[in-house]
């Protein structure tokens, strides 16, 4: 797991702007959702080219937070990335950033029926209560990426806790766009993973300065206020 502590100079800058270190001092359970982003075999299992070395370390934190969210009357949303073959054309600018063989491996692994698309098996998914969203871009909120806004609106969800992989790619992109669309967005520092400590820290630090809050799993749970689901 990444070792991370927010630099004190950043905390002081945020306090100077908003009068307190954390925007989110409490969470109303029924209007809060935990988004678990891309915790799929392709990004977690070391046999795949895009696996993050520390993603598996976050599974206990994610499972713990998911159960706390259910108990508080909130929702857990499992967000999975897919790469339909037609997106090779519609997102050609992404494909050109891969060698041809690596692009082929990515597209094959991210088909909805592929093993790489499936959630990491040690995640505790409650299909009778939890929700699922499939996205086609790094951000779940980018136009045409997914139906996440409809899902959130249908369930009255206004605050989003972001976990998953990678901190500085799909997690950060989703969290930033959520804030831009007027959702309260929080990145859970010990619930996200990147390839390196440096990338993880840079994403969290910038998000905290300009976009939303950054809290640990324990800090989120301490702030959760239960209600009727």
**Would you say residue 93 lies in a domain?**
yes
Residue 226: pLDDT band (50, 70, 90) is confident
For residue 87, pLDDT over 80 is answered with: no
Residue 203: pLDDT band (50, 70, 90) is very high
**Would you say residue 3 lies in a domain?**
no
What mean pLDDT is reported for the chain? 94
Name the more confident of 107 and 132: 132
Q: Output the pLDDT for position 103.
A: 87
**Would you say residue 12 lies in a domain?**
yes
**Would you say residue 229 lies in a domain?**
no
Helix (H, G, I), strand (E, B) or coil at 37: strand
Q: E strand or H helix at 107, and its extent?
A: helix 100-109
Number of neighbours of residue 126 by Cβ within 10 angstroms = 11
In sequence order, what are the residues at sequence separation of 6 or more whose Cβ sits closer than 8 angstroms to the Cβ of residue 189?
2, 4, 204, 214, 215, 216
pLDDT tens-place string over residues 113-143: 999 999 999 999 999 999 999 999 999 999 9
Give the length of the chain. Answer: 229
**Mean pLDDT within 185-205:** 97
pTM, full prediction: 0.94
**Would you say residue 49 lies in a domain?**
yes
For residue 89, pLDDT over 80 is answered with: no
Q: What is the dihedral of CA 223, 16, 173, 162, to 10 degrees?
A: -10
**Would you say residue 177 lies in a domain?**
yes
Q: Output the pLDDT for position 172.
A: 98
* Domain range for 23: 8-224
**Mean pLDDT within 75-103:** 83
For the chain, the domain total comes to 1
Helices (H), ranges, 138-196: 148-154, 172-180
CA–CA separation, 168 and 174 (whole Å):
10
**Would you say residue 2 lies in a domain?**
no
Q: Output the pLDDT for position 97.
A: 84
Kindly report the CATH number assigned to the domain that includes residue 156.
3.40.50.850
**How far are the Cα atoms of 56, 78, 117 from residue 84, in angstroms, in the given order?**
26, 19, 11
pLDDT tens-place string over residues 154-176: 999 999 999 999 999 999 999 99
Q: Output the pLDDT for position 201.
A: 98
**Would you say residue 54 lies in a domain?**
yes
104-108, 183-187, 210-214: which range is least confident on average?
Answer: 104-108
In sequence order, what are the residues at sequence separation of 6 or more whose Cβ sits closer than 8 angstroms to the Cβ of residue 129?
70, 75, 76
Using the 8-state DSSP alphabet, how is residue 40 labeled?
A: B
**Mean pLDDT within 96-114:** 89
- Could you give the percent of the chain with pLDDT greater than 70? 97
């Amino acid at each position: 797991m990444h070792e991370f502590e927010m630099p004190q100079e950043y905390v002081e800058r945020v306090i100077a702007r908003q009068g307190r270190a954390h925007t989110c001092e409490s969470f109303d359970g029924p209007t809060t959702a935990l988004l678990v982003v891309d915790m799929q075999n392709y990004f977690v299992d070391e046999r795949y080219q895009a696996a993050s070395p520390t993603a598996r370390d976050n599974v206990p934190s994610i499972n713990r937070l998911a159960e706390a969210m259910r108990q508080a009357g909130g929702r857990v949303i499992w967000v999975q990335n897919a790469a339909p073959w037609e997106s090779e054309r519609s997102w050609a600018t992404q494909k050109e950033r891969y060698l041809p063989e690596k692009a082929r491996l990515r597209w094959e692994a991210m088909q909805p029926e592929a093993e790489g698309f499936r959630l990491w098996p040690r995640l505790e998914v409650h299909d009778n209560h939890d929700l699922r969203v499939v996205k086609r871009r790094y951000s779940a909120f980018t136009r045409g990426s997914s139906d996440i806004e409809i899902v959130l609106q249908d369930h009255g969800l206004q605050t989003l806790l972001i976990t998953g992989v990678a901190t500085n790619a799909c997690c950060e992109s989703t969290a930033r766009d959520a804030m831009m669309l007027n959702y309260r967005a929080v990145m859970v520092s010990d619930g996200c993973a990147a390839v390196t400590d440096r990338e993880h820290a840079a994403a969290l630090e910038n998000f905290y300065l300009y976009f939303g809050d950054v809290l640990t799993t324990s800090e989120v749970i301490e702030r959760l206020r239960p209600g009727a689901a």
